[in-house]
């Protein structure tokens, strides 16, 4: 099996075969517009703009499984990314990435490249593993 055998739905409900991306370098990310890491969309977009012509693609998959940080529709998530961060890379329909209802693509990705844990000696990984911020706004 390969990643190119999967079919996914884009943010607007159209079916997309990942075969369209064959021969390209893919970065598949699960996203959430209310996440404390949302600012990273800006950096992802810069990365996309820099390397897209060389065959690099970012595929964004909104997910609401992590503290309900993607509460809207797929279309709303894509619109937010486009309007707030200028995202032009493909955004897809909201999916589950974990558990019994996880999309088959994410089952496949986790099987092919399982999570290895965080390296606490690496500052970036230490920050990513840092406990979530508490929202004190009323």
End-to-end CA distance of the chain: 49
- CB–CB of 81/91 below 8 Å? yes
- CB–CB of 31/61 below 8 Å? yes
Residue 134 above 50 pLDDT? no
Residue among 35, 47, 102, 109 flagged as catalytic: 35
Domains and CATH numbers, the chain: 3-128 (3.40.30.10)
Residue 35 among the catalytic residues = yes
**Any bridge partners for residue 58, and if so which?**
27
Confidence of residue 133 (pLDDT cuts 50, 70, 90): very low
C-alpha span between 2 and 18 (Å, rounded): 10
pTM: predicted TM-score of the whole model, two decimal places: 0.80
Report the chain's mean pLDDT, rounded to a whole number.
Answer: 85
Residue 114 above 80 pLDDT? no
- CB–CB of 47/58 below 8 Å? yes
Q: Give all strands (DSSP E) within the chain, no chain letters.
A: 7-9, 15-17, 25-31, 56-62
């Amino acid at each position: 099996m390969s990643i190119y055998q999967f079919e996914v739905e884009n943010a607007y409900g159209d079916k997309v075969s990942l075969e369209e991306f064959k021969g390209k370098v893919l970065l598949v990310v699960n996203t959430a517009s209310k996440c404390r890491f949302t600012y990273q969309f800006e950096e992802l977009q810069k990365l996309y703009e820099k390397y897209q012509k060389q065959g690099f693609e970012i595929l964004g998959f909104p997910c609401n499984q992590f503290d309900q940080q993607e509460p809207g529709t797929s279309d709303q998530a894509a619109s937010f990314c486009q309007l707030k961060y200028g995202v032009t890379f493909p955004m897809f329909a909201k999916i589950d990435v974990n558990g019994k209802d996880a999309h088959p693509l994410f089952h496949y990705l986790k099987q092919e490249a399982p999570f290895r844990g965080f390296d606490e000696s690496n500052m970036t990984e230490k920050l990513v593993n840092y406990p979530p911020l508490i929202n004190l706004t009323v």
